Structure 1
Amino acid sequence: MEQLAAETPHTVVERRYSLITLVFFCSGLFVVAALFSTIPLNPVFMTEFHLTAERAALATSICSLCYALGTVVFAPLSDRYGRKRVIILGLLLLTVISPVIGFLSNYEAIIVFRGIQGFVAASFAPTALTFITELYPPKKRMTAIGVISAGFLMAGIVGQVYSSMINGMLGWHFVFYIFGLLYLGLAIAFIAVIPRDRVLDVMEKRSVFGAFPVVLSQSFFRKCYFITVLLLLSFVGMYTALENYLRDMYALEASQILLIRSAGMIGMLLTPFGGRLAERFGTFKTLRSGLALAAIGLFSVGVSNSIFMIACMSIVFTAGISITVPSLISLLGQIGGKEKASAMSLYSFFLFVGSTIGPMIAVFLMKTGNYVLTFGMIAALLTFGFLTTFPLAKKAAVRRAES
């Protein structure tokens, strides 16, 4: 009976693999989409609350900052209290917090609750990534990571499109009301579909922050996080520069820019196949190919002389990022060892550190007035990431030999 009980969760995973992946994907998509949902609302907030552009942008930046801080808390907490329990608690809290934002009529209060929303939203991604490495069999793990990573990347565009549509039809308040209903539905789906995870015994439980110094003291992880920072740094930085580039050089309107921005989602369709590519060609070959594609696509955006080519090269760029993300996550999951949960938590933290500094770097470079230089310099950073994979491979081989 004990053996049967131990095998039951794996049997459930095999039987409901597609449904479990769908629940993870939708949860990741809509949780992370909340971070980007206020970007199209900046003009609305400026008019309704009489704000400057800088103050209106705080609704997004505060949410992102608190999200980054939250990532270093929730994954280690899931070591102590369980992955599924932490994720469900986060979804239920978002069910309450999100509609409250819609009821607020004071912008300072909106900023405070956006910060709370961002912090709580961080309960999903790092915990889910660790959960997946434990829940899925090795042959299906990389594909699952790829699908869910696609949701995280698509959220940056989907969140803005969703917010623009709901605001246009019903008003900005309903953006947050509907988010609340979505999170309630996702919480119910997660409870019903996702198997329970293994509860760690007393000897396995770690302090929340105790493993962070251990992780950061190791060169393998530091090199992984350097590449991690570059992913959203280049992603957000590229789209920040692209919007200004298309407006200044081609005089495109916001709706036209959004269409070209949305074209990048085509490249994201490769994300679920990142796992299969890594299994066939190796994790590091896939990682290097993704970084190379991203760098080439990004540089080509700056030197292209037609809108069609810019759209095509943006697809190449996002395809490269989409291949890189699941490869890097899988590498951390495979070699993370006992610090796996903390390593995943720090991965999410550094990912959003890149998201924070990406626009600042893009704006600084755009002050030169040279867009070829702007895209080229960000592409050069990705090239440094590509070169970092070679010493990283040596460190990974050492860790495998020691384990």
Structure 2
Amino acid sequence: MNTPVKPLAPHYSLTTLILFWCSLIVVSALYLTIPLFTLFEDVFQISSSTAAWAGSAFSFAFAGGGLLFGGLSDRYGRKKMMILGLSLLTLSTPLIGTVQEFHWLIVLRVIQGLAASMFPPAVLAYALEMFPANKRVTILGFISSAFLMASIVGQIYSSTVVLNLSWNDVFYILGGVYLVSLMMLTTCIPRDVVQKQGGNALSPLRRIGGIFKKQSLPYFFIISSTLFIALVGFFSTLGSFLSSDQFGLNHQEILWVRAAGIIGMFISPFDGKLVQKYGVKNVLCCGLIMAGIGLGLVGISGNLILLTLMSIIFTGGIAMALPALLSLIGSLAGELRASALSFHMFMLFIGASLGPILSIYLIDSEGHRFTFEALAGILLLSTLVPLFIPLERKDTAVTVK
């Protein structure tokens, strides 16, 4: 039987701020290398497809680690797992700046990805268990905003540092940021109640099989993957598209176009109100359609202003869909919530791993416009998943509490 957990009312605002910030900087590590791909090609004398592994190596490690560490947070506690992940990031991140050979960069990115994977499943489960029921969709919106904003903030951060310092300093400075954030997390958020689990340390992995016995739940993991295939694929394509002969933008100008996407992501914290008014499945479908249309219009736009506006619509749609998807998975999973959220993160970042690989392949073979349209098509096809899956009334009610 679960031990009742007291609400966080006295610490709600501060805890929300810290969880948002830590989620932002942890997941930003995935996107740091996207603007650095061409630089790595020159520094390490490698091909563009090889350079893309600086991102994909992190993503695959992040996805695989999340399956293990999300379940272990059931056994050892959410806060402890978050602290351990940030501690390892603090140690491993500065080491990346010291490498002289690309294969060592890949090794350290894998280690960094494993360390980072300890955080998201734990922070999601912490939010669902420690926040009052009427605030859960809202806190999921803030955490989802952090995950999404990381896709742009990470790129802006690394681009800015490279413009003024060097690529090595990207990792040195971030290591210091992780250290300060670790101290904030350790001292300022309440400790969660550890649920005593039977079995050994690997028992949580065995429970993952149980989520596939939950009616309708496994189908929503398809959306988990396609969301980040499209998101990371979009940003991997955008830089080379804007620097091509059609637009001819320089590094600083591309940075501003990337940054514009943050505007669309501000919808995420308000997802709770949208869910309460229109229903979780409707909000999810609307977000996917909005993102697919925005991304599709990016591919056919020859005007920079229109392209920027469509990228905002695209990121806004992703920001609308992700909190609704998280809330839906959490409510459908019931007692297997932590395992389901871990598998959701696994599928999310499998998508993030495949995004740059797929986009670079399509750019080389078919061009930028076809790549944007293909990614949009993947998103729109995923809209069919919730349309044909009935939800029980009690599932929807739990979601919108």
Give the TM-score normalised by structure 1: 0.90
Cα distance in structure 1, aligned partners of 2:325 and 2:153: 23
2:66 partner amino acid: T
Cα distance in structure 1, aligned partners of 2:53 and 2:12: 40
Q: Which of the numbers 75, 81, 94 marks the counterpart of 1:86?
A: 81
Q: Secondary structure of 1:199's match?
A: coil
Q: Deviations over 1:295-332 (max 9, x none)?
A: 12112222334111111111111101000000000111
Unaligned runs of 5+ in 2: none
1:19 to 2:32 alignment:
no
Q: Which moved more, 1:146-155 or 1:198-207?
A: 198-207
The answer to whether the Cα contact below 8 Å between 2:223 and 2:382 also exists between their aligned partners in 1 is: yes
Q: Secondary structure of 2:383's match?
A: helix
Aligned to 1:243: 239
Q: Which moved more, 1:165-174 or 1:303-312?
A: 165-174
Matching of residues 54-133 of structure 1 within 5 Å: 54-133=49-128
Q: Which of the numbers 254, 262, 271 marks the counterpart of 1:257?
A: 254
1:142 partner amino acid: V
1:337 partner amino acid: G
Cα distance in structure 2, aligned partners of 1:272 and 1:328: 14
2:222 partner amino acid: F
Matching of residues 105-254 of structure 1 within 5 Å: 105-202=100-197, 207-246=203-242, 247-254=244-251
| Gap change, CA 1:242 and 1:400, over 3 Å in 2 | closer
| Gap change, CA 1:47 and 1:227, over 3 Å in 2 | closer
Cα distance in structure 1, aligned partners of 2:155 and 2:284: 28
1:358 to 2:372 alignment:
no
Q: CA RMSD in A?
A: 2.5
Aligned to 1:377: 374
Give how far 1:390 is off: 2.0
Q: Which of the numbers 277, 280, 288 marks the counterpart of 1:283?
A: 280
After TM superposition, which residue ranges in structure 1, 4 or more long, deviate above 6 angstroms? Answer: 398-401
| Gap change, CA 1:41 and 1:361, over 3 Å in 2 | closer
Give how far 1:198 is off: 1.5
Cα distance in structure 1, aligned partners of 2:323 and 2:380: 19
Q: Which of the numbers 324, 331, 335 marks the counterpart of 1:334?
A: 331
Q: Which moved more, 1:113-122 or 1:42-51?
A: 42-51
Q: Which moved more, 1:96-105 or 1:260-269?
A: 96-105
Cα distance in structure 1, aligned partners of 2:290 and 2:11: 34
Cα distance in structure 2, aligned partners of 1:58 and 1:359: 9
1:269 to 2:266 alignment:
yes
1:229 partner amino acid: S
| Gap change, CA 1:52 and 1:313, over 3 Å in 2 | closer
How many aligned positions are there?
394
| Gap change, CA 1:371 and 1:89, over 3 Å in 2 | closer
Cα distance in structure 2, aligned partners of 1:317 and 1:21: 26
Give the TM-score normalised by structure 2: 0.90
Identity among equivalent positions (%) equals: 38
Q: Secondary structure of 1:333's match?
A: helix
The answer to whether the Cα contact below 8 Å between 2:63 and 2:117 also exists between their aligned partners in 1 is: yes
The answer to whether the Cα contact below 8 Å between 1:220 and 1:396 also exists between their aligned partners in 2 is: no
| Gap change, CA 1:382 and 1:170, over 3 Å in 2 | closer
| Gap change, CA 1:400 and 1:312, over 3 Å in 2 | closer
| Gap change, CA 1:173 and 1:363, over 3 Å in 2 | closer
Cα distance in structure 1, aligned partners of 2:260 and 2:237: 16
| Gap change, CA 1:395 and 1:126, over 3 Å in 2 | same
Cα distance in structure 1, aligned partners of 2:302 and 2:158: 32
